[in-house]
């Protein structure tokens, strides 16, 4: 008979990952910021990071979820930066009478 070990640990890891993913299914939260104020933009980024940590922090030691946490933070950070840049460009266009 062949004994396979580690399946219990893998099963637990995957079950935790499924539970964690359910935690972030749907709306994570909302943030607002002033696109002309770097401190406001940074505060929004920190706020989103805190929301992610609040939902997924209990699973940070899970090898499936840990990289997801960092990836989500980076994705949201870049999204906020992009939206701030777009808003500033839009304001510049309005100043020219466009």
- What is the predicted pLDDT for the residue at 93? 61
Give 10-33 pLDDT, tens digit per residue.
Answer: 888 889 899 888 888 888 889 999
Q: Tell me the pTM.
A: 0.77
**Residue 37 pLDDT grade (very low, low, confident, very high; cuts 50, 70, 90):** very high
Residue 97: predicted pLDDT? 47
- Alpha carbon distance 52, 61 (integer Å): 14
Residue-averaged pLDDT of the chain: 88
Q: Which pLDDT tens digit goes with each residue over 39-59?
A: 999 999 999 999 999 999 999
Query: Shortest CA distance to 9 belongs to which of 91, 48, 55, 64?
Result: 64
Helix axes 7-23, 38-56, angle to 10 degrees: 130
């Amino acid at each position: 008979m062949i004994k396979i070990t580690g399946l219990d640990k893998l099963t637990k890891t995957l079950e935790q990952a499924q539970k964690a993913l359910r935690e972030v299914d749907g709306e994570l939260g909302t943030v607002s910021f002033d696109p002309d104020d770097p401190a406001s933009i940074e505060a929004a980024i920190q706020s989103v990071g805190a929301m992610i940590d609040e939902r997924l922090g209990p699973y940070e030691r899970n090898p499936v979820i840990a990289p997801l946490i960092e990836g989500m933070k980076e994705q949201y950070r870049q999204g906020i930066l992009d939206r701030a840049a777009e808003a500033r460009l839009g304001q510049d266009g309005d100043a020219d009478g466009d």
